[in-house]
Amino acid sequence: MAIDPELPFAPVSIALLTVSDTRTEADDTSGDILAARIADAGHALAARTIVPDSVQAIAAQLDRWIDDADIDVIVTTGGTGFSDRDVTPEALARVREGSYGRDIEGFGELFRQLSYRTIGTSTIQSRACAIAAHGTFVFALPGSNGAVKDGWDMILAEQLDSRNRPCNFVQQMPRFKGN
């Protein structure tokens, strides 16, 4: 990470969505890991909830948070595999289409490249993805503890730091607000 010490840190407001039919607040370990990393990085955890593996439920929650001017970023965990219940990418596609958003194609590509170092060829089963919709960035990570650590530590921590150079998502936010 190339942090420019001359620049001020600008915290962002992040909502955390766990997608699962089985996890509860008591055992949402991947959500706990992300919440701790968000706080440790100096960002604000604006909201946190769990929704079932349902395109409608995921998309409805994402739409609510995207419409909330106080939320800059949404990070989801879970639902990015290949089982019939893994529908987080489909929910992001629905939100993207409904809001005239854009895919952030490099996110999934980079996640799988970095994840390869940890889990080898098994990374091919990840459908990690990201979109930008109405000025809000949405990042979908797999639900394992290792995947959320990799996604946050190796991508999001840098890209959500306003001091990261040569560029970062924080500097892009004003350009997309209101679109």
Asked if 43 and 160 count as a contact pair (C-beta separation under 8 A), the reply is yes
Q: For residue 92, which amino acid is it? A: L
Which residue in the block uniquely carries the two structure tokens 């990070």?
A: 75
pLDDT of residue 175: 74
Nearest to 52 by CA among 77, 22, 29: 22
| Residue ranges of domains in the chain | 13-176
Q: Which CATH class is domain 13-176?
A: alpha beta
pLDDT of residue 67: 94
- Mean pLDDT per 10-residue segment, the chain (179 residues): 89 97 94 98 98 97 96 96 93 90 95 96 95 95 96 97 95 72
pLDDT of residue 51: 98
pLDDT of residue 98: 82
Pairing of strands 13-19, 129-133: unpaired
pLDDT of residue 174: 81
pLDDT of residue 64: 97
As a whole-number percent, the residues of the chain with pLDDT over 70 amount to 98
Nearest to 161 by CA among 151, 175, 148, 171: 171
**Number of C-beta neighbours around residue 64 at 10 A:** 13
pLDDT of residue 1: 59
55: tokens are 């395109």
**Number of C-beta neighbours around residue 104 at 10 A:** 19
Segment 101-115, tens digit of pLDDT = 899 999 999 999 999
User: Which residues are CB-neighbours of 103 under 8 A, at least 6 positions away?
Assistant: 96, 129, 130, 131
Segment 129-138, tens digit of pLDDT = 999 998 899 9
51: tokens are 């929704």
In Å, the largest CA–CA distance within the chain is 48
